[in-house]
Chain A
Amino acid sequence: MSVKFVPVQWTFNKWVYDGVLLACVALYIIVFIRLGTPAADVTRPVDGAIVRMRAYGSCAFLMLTFILAIGPLARLDRRFLPLLYNRRHFGVITAVVAATHAFYVLGWYYAFSPTPRLDALLTSNVAYGQLLGFPFETLGIVALLILAVLAATSHDFWLNFLTPPVWKGLHLSIYVAYAAAVAHVGLGYLQDTTNPAFALIFCGGALVVAGLHLIAAKRGSPVPDGVWVPVGAVQTIPDQRAIVVRLGGDERAAVFRNGDTLSAVSNACAHQNGPLGEGRIIDGCITCPWHGFQYRPEDGCSPAPFTERIPTYRLKIEGDRVFVDRNANPPGTRVDPLPIPEALR
């Protein structure tokens, strides 16, 4: 679906998603500051400025935690898929919240520094050789820089320009950002906090992310050897929908049922590598659940005038079982849809 780039491809769902997200962020910040400020005045170790920076910092950390939980949650339960589809907007808002936290830190701790603020931030503590008193600010800078790069490259143009594998690889650095953020909080706030509630929220959130990733990784079954990879019983493929099959390496095929026939295509959409197997057939075309890119089941080509193409796969039925050839055909190769025997319909 090659169309001219626009700033944002707004849909009704995106408006709702972003509206709810922004409302939640605003509510969190307001409640945090309202609850924290009365107990914070300039005579106390934690004053109003620190409460504000903690409000934004903790909000960014929790948002990052939620972003990382969405992926495995969606793999474990399809009901979380709608959260996945607009995750890039979530990431951009998280980067803005994290940057606000950083500006508050610079504007408070280094407000009266005789050296420029950024210089002072980088040189005021260089005890990298010890754990106690480690310059945890650097870890926050690393996380913020990564979030900035991911937010700045979130437009569709970047995926098209850098190519999907490079873009995906770049965006996997979210894991590095999260590890840096956990260390930033662990070696910073957690070192002197006497507030068990927030310590528990931070540790609990981080451990939930770690646990969800472990559980989702364990769910993936090993890929059998041989050319033909079992898909499952014909009856288990719902009409107009698909079953996703792992083929080994980085490849996955989506086996679709279109009435009384079966077809298999690559599970990765040519647009943003969206999961085609989680989409459905609309108007005779496989439709990506992320942005609505469409492909004909029989040859993996987008209908004219669009030019996107994805690989197709051969299928066979033995008994009531479906098998897919693990060797992909070149993108756009026609494979006649496999008729389902009458006894299995």
Chain B
Amino acid sequence: MGALIVDVAWGYTYFGLAVAALFLTVGLGRVSPDARGAYAFRPLLVPGIVLLWPAVLLRWIALERGAEHGAAAHKPPRRFQDGAALVLAILVPLILLTALVARQDGPLERAPVQLAPPAALEPER
């Protein structure tokens, strides 16, 4: 299973590199006017494209079709941020408490019990 995950990750990475090469040479100038004639920053985009190439392809296609983000640009997802911050504030102490309770010398640790060997294995007298 571990080998399969690693193989899939490498495949994803290689495909991402191919998308990066295509996007940085063909697509970037077409979808981003600010990138035309600007080359020094392009290598910085490679890791992001490799990691997010499905999103890059989708957005590239959408922009080629003339999509715009309009008024939504002025509504950052603050409500969601407040909720996420609240969940984090509750989750962090819970995780820490659970971790400390789970320690082998923690409060839930039971007293050691001397195990008796199975009857079949009792040494003969």
Mark A residues whose CB is within 8 Å of B: 2-7, 68, 72, 115-116, 118-123, 126, 131-132, 148-149, 151-153, 155, 157-158, 160-165, 168-169, 172, 175, 178-179, 182-183, 185-187, 190-192, 203, 206-207, 209-211, 213-214, 216-217, 220, 249-252, 266, 268, 270, 273, 310-311, 328, 330-331
Mark B residues whose CB is within 8 Å of A: 1-3, 5-6, 31-38, 40-41, 44-45, 47-48, 50-52, 55-56, 59, 69, 71-82, 84-93, 95-96, 98-100, 102-104
Question: Do residues A164 and B76 form an inter-chain contact, with CB atoms below 8 A?
Answer: yes
Question: Do residues B59 and A162 form an inter-chain contact, with CB atoms below 8 A?
Answer: yes
Main secondary structure of the interface of B (DSSP, over half): helix
A338 → B minimal CB distance (Å): 21
Question: Do residues A179 and B95 form an inter-chain contact, with CB atoms below 8 A?
Answer: yes
CA of A155 to CA of B43, assembled, Å: 11
Residues of A within 8 A of B92 (CB): 178-179, 182, 206-207, 209-210
CA of A310 to CA of B72, assembled, Å: 11
A129 → B minimal CB distance (Å): 14
A125 → B minimal CB distance (Å): 11
Task: Output the nearest chain B residue to A134 by Cβ-Cβ distance.
Answer: B102
Residue in contact with A118 in the complex, picked from B6, B44, B52, B55, CB distance below 8 Å: B6
Which residue, A210, A211, A252, A310, has most C-beta atoms of chain B within 10 A? A210
Residue in contact with A175 in the complex, picked from B73, B84, B104, CB distance below 8 Å: B84
CA of A172 to CA of B79, assembled, Å: 12
CA of A155 to CA of B100, assembled, Å: 39
Residues of A within 8 A of B76 (CB): 164-165, 168, 250, 268, 273
